[in-house]
Amino acid sequence: MEKYYLGVDVSKGYADLVILDGNKQVVEENFQLDDTFDGHCRLYEILCKFFANHPQCMLYAAVESTGGYENNWFNALVGFQATLNLKTARLNPLGVSANSKADLKRNITDKISA
């Protein structure tokens, strides 16, 4: 079973998202969605299309804990687990920061953070 990863960089009112393969190569280009019902519905549509193109995969989604801004996205993704082959995690920001430092990447754009 192929493994893919959905990175979600949450900001106040929106999120930047990207889907990577196991080699950290972009599979779905970065996209931005508003933190609204319509934005969450659009994410579900995007994920359904992704799974239609990758029917035998597991998608691991991660949102960084950002003082509560991530709650709506995290809850939406957990809800999607009922119908999609998806596992969702909330990440400690210290671990995310340490991983970025280990990769020696110094850029801080939302797209790259996702």
**Tens digits of per-residue pLDDT, 32-73?**
999 999 999 999 999 999 999 999 999 999 998 888 899 999
Record the tokens describing residue 3, joined without a space.
């493994």
pLDDT above 80: residue 23: yes
Q: Report d(CA 60, CA 85) in Å as an integer.
A: 9
CATH code, 2-113: 3.30.420.40
- Under 8 Å CB-to-CB from 12, ≥6 apart: which residues? 69
Q: What is the pTM of this model?
A: 0.81
For the chain, which residues make up each domain, given as ranges?
Answer: 2-113
